[in-house]
């Protein structure tokens, strides 16, 4: 009987060790990316990359605030698809400075803190220089810079005030390969994302003494609703051939990188710009 109980105990021990070892090898997400009760605000999360990021944060325990501007119906769908119940939806036009401040204030009032801000909201407008009027040109520039750069700058300011008070926080900005490779038909977009990169790096330096860290992800084409017409249209084959992987990124791949940067142990990566472009555009 004694021999039997020893065998059972040893067997259970070996099973437990094997389980821990396999988990270690697989890098168990629950251990590496634990966002339990962290408060995460994701802008432009009604669809696309924002929605995928919201899902992954919720999957790993975060309380997610889904921000949207015009797409309430899709924002509701994002919330319905999240694991857990303590999430919220907030509307704001980030080109409006008061609404941008109100968005952050609402989060802090309702959730008590802000652990991570993902600046994902952006606009993209075609305005090829040889084809548009001067009015169209100026409108595209104004709108793009107001949204992608100034709107994001204002959100960073407001979020940073809270994060400085907390002496903790992470800001992850979603940029684009276009900042480096050029956007011949949407130069304002390329410029806005290049500006976003520079702003993020300056603020990484300014905020590090406050224990607040700033990161950038720069995707190439990602298979989202917004670019479906292009990725799945006549240009689709040329687009997938830009990468030796012969495909574009999946929203989940961008989301996973955002979660990694927001996770513990990445403080020293502050100021980094992570390319997510399947080696379609290499820079060093």
> 68, 134, 189, 281: which is the annotated catalytic residue?
189
Sheet holding 63-68, edge to edge: 88-91, 63-68, 39-42, 116-119, 169-174, 212-219, 273-276
Which of 162, 176, 257, 270 lies at the binding interface for ligand NAP (CB under 6 A)? 176
- According to DSSP, the residues that pair with 274 across neighbouring strands are 217
Which of 83, 113, 226, 256 lies at the binding interface for ligand NAP (CB under 6 A)? 226
Check residue 48 and give left, alpha or beta (phi > 0: left; psi -120 to 50: alpha).
Answer: left
User: Is residue 200 within the footprint of ligand NAP (CB under 6 A)?
Assistant: no
User: Is residue 278 within the footprint of ligand NAP (CB under 6 A)?
Assistant: no
Candidates 107, 110, 69, 111; CA nearest to 91 is 69
User: Is residue 221 within the footprint of ligand NAP (CB under 6 A)?
Assistant: yes
User: Is residue 160 within the footprint of ligand NAP (CB under 6 A)?
Assistant: no
Which of 33, 39, 46, 150 lies at the binding interface for ligand NAP (CB under 6 A)? 46
Nearer to ligand NAP, 57 or 68 (CB): 68
Cα-based torsion angle of the residue sequence 29, 226, 231, 52 in order, rounded to the nearest 10 degrees: 10
Closest contact distance (angstroms) between CB of 50 and ligand NAP is: 6
User: Is residue 154 within the footprint of ligand NAP (CB under 6 A)?
Assistant: no
Nearer to ligand NAP, 213 or 221 (CB): 221
Which of 33, 54, 108, 121 lies at the binding interface for ligand NAP (CB under 6 A)? 121
Closest contact distance (angstroms) between CB of 224 and ligand NAP is: 3
Cβ-in-10-Å burial (0-12, 13-18, 19+) of 263 comes to middle
Is position 215 annotated as part of the catalytic site?
Answer: no
Residues in the chain: 284
User: Is residue 202 within the footprint of ligand NAP (CB under 6 A)?
Assistant: no
Contact range with ligand NAP by CB under 6 A, out of 14-22, 68-76, 208-216, 256-264:
68-76
Q: How many CB atoms lie within 10 A of CB 130?
A: 6
Rounded to 5°, the CA angle 71-262-144 comes to 40
Nearer to ligand NAP, 224 or 257 (CB): 224
User: Is residue 224 within the footprint of ligand NAP (CB under 6 A)?
Assistant: yes
Q: How far apart are CA 23 and CA 26, in angstroms?
A: 5
- According to DSSP, the residues that pair with 275 across neighbouring strands are 218
* Cα–Cα separations (whole angstroms), residue 30 to 35, 50, 204, 245, 262: 9, 21, 28, 29, 14
For ligand NAP, how many residues bind (rule: CB under 6 A)?
27
User: Is residue 123 within the footprint of ligand NAP (CB under 6 A)?
Assistant: yes
Task: List residues near ligand NAP by CB under 6 A.
Answer: 44, 46-50, 68-71, 93-95, 120-123, 147, 174, 176, 219, 221-222, 224-227
Give the residue numbers annotated as catalytic, written as ranges: 189
């Amino acid at each position: 009987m004694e021999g039997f109980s020893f065998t059972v105990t040893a067997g259970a021990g070996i099973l437990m060790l094997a389980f821990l070892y396999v988990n270690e090898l697989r890098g168990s997400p629950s251990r590496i990316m634990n966002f339990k009760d962290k408060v995460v605000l994701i802008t432009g999360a009604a669809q696309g990359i924002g929605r995928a990021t919201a899902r992954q944060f919720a999957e790993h325990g975060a309380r997610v605030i889904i921000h949207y501007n015009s797409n309430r119906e899709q924002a509701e769908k994002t919330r319905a698809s999240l694991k857990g119940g303590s999430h919220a939806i907030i509307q704001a036009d980030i080109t409006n400075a008061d609404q941008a401040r109100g968005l952050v204030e609402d989060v802090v009032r309702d959730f008590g803190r802000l652990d991570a801000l993902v600046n994902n909201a952006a606009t993209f407008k075609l305005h090829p220089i040889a084809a548009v009027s001067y009015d169209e040109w100026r409108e595209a520039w104004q709108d793009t810079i107001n949204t992608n750069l100034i709107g994001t700058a204002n959100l960073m300011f407001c979020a940073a005030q809270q994060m400085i008070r907390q002496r903790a926080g992470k800001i992850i900005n979603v940029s684009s390969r276009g900042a480096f490779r050029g956007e011949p038909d949407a130069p304002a977009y390329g410029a806005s994302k290049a500006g976003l990169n520079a702003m993020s790096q300056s603020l990484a330096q300014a905020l590090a003494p406050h224990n607040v860290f700033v990161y950038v992800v720069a995707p190439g084409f990602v298979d989202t609703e917004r670019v479906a017409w292009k990725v799945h249209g006549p240009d689709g084959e040329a687009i997938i051939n830009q990468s030796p992987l012969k495909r574009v990124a999946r929203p989940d791949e961008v989301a996973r990188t955002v979660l990694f940067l927001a996770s513990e142990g990445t403080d020293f990566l502050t100021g980094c710009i992570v390319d997510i472009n399947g080696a379609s555009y290499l820079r060093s």
